[in-house]
Amino acid sequence: MHTDSLRRVTLRTACVAWALVTLLVVLFGATPHAAAASTMQLHGALHREGSVSIVSHRGAAALAPENTLAAMRIAIEQGVDFVETDLQLTSDGVPMLLHDPTLDRTTNGSGPIATHTFDEVRALDAGGWFDPANAGERVPTLEEFLDVLEPANVRALVELKGDWTTEQLSDVADLLQSRYMVNRVALQSFDEETLRGLQQVAPQFARVMLTREWDARTVSLAQELEVSAVGGRPKLIDRNLDLLAELRATGIGSLTYTLNKTKRWDRAIERGIDLIVTDDPVELGVWRSEIEAAAAGA
């Protein structure tokens, strides 16, 4: 081909490629990572225009013994967007719903869950500490939690506590997948290695990165880990509003925990937070209905 014609073809190809990339950026967000994140808008619940999504903490920790099936049922009855729970492994590798590394605070047992077998944990009472009327509640397994979640129109945010091998993460993902939970369960962790492991072995599940520090690396790390949202305490977010804006510009959402007061909910919505984690989904649900009704009437 003549050099001039060749140059023209190359130029045309470059223009078409540029137009295509521009179209993709406009369609999916400012960066390739944003495109990945926007396809994982926490199963459609990440952003609620002019409002927030409700994440009911440890089931509904203000209303029933945390992380028990009773707490899950109460949250589900409220029609929350997500029920949040924490997962730990017993010494024989059974994933169970427990927040603390030890059994002491929320059961009548003691010592680390990691040194107790499933049978030992199963024998404990996980409700009486909250209210004698809740005596007899057990520490549920992940499978039992899924039995309750399955028929409900609610999603779950499952936090992996403690250390997890890639194989253990894979087992959890396989169980969730076998129960058709890919579009209903998002996995979250404070631990970077756990999030990396999930990205590797369970990329089909949306992930939330929880953090106690927010610095210049946070946004790029969130992009690298391809998480759908980053979660932190309100004070951390208030101190880093520039990073919150940066995060939003990448298409990644924000979550804040654990907010149980109207003043805090007002502040979160002012900040444009996507998901509020609360112990009391009843009160937060009333507040949300009011602000949504006010917005609709405005």
By CB under 6 A, residue 264 contacts ligand G3P: no
Q: Which of 40, 67, 69, 86 binds Ca ion (CB under 5 A)?
A: 86
Longest dimension (CA), the chain: 89
Instruction: Show the site string, 158-197: x = touches ligand G3P by CB under 6 A, - = not.
Output: -x--------------------------------------
Asked if residue 257 binds ligand G3P (CB under 6 A), the reply is yes
H or E element that contains 155: strand 155-160
Backbone angles phi, psi at 232, to 5 degrees: -155, 170
- Closest contact distance (angstroms) between CB of 288 and ligand G3P is 18
Q: Is 279 in the site for Ca ion (CB under 5 A)?
A: no
Amino acid at 165: T
Residues between 158 and 187 with contacts to Ca ion, criterion CB under 5 A: 159
For ligand G3P, the binding residues in 69-98 under the rule CB under 6 A are 84, 86
Give the shortest CB-185-to-ligand G3P separation in angstroms: 14
> What is the Cα–Cα distance from 276 to 75, expressed in whole angstroms?
14
SS (H, E, C) 187-256: EEECCHHHHHHHHHHCCCCCEEEECCCCCHHHHHHHHHCCCCEEEECHHHHHCCHHHHHHHHHCCCEEEE
Provide, rounded to whole angstroms, the least separation between the CB of residue 86 and Ca ion: 5
Closest to ligand G3P by CB, 232 or 251: 232
Q: Which helix or strand (DSSP H or E) is residue 169 part of?
A: helix 166-178
Binding mask 190-229 for Ca ion (x = CB under 5 A): ----------------------------------------
Q: Would you say 141 or 188 has its CB closer to ligand G3P?
A: 188
Residue that the structure tokens 């990165």 belong to: 209
The entry of Ca ion, ligand G3P, none near residue 59 (CB within 5 to 8 angstroms by kind) is none
| 187, β-bridge pairs | 158, 207
* Nearest to Ca ion of 146, 255 (CB atom): 255
**Closest distance between ligand G3P and the C-beta of residue 85, in Å?**
9
Yes or no: say if 253 and 42 are a contact pair by the CB < 8 Å rule: yes
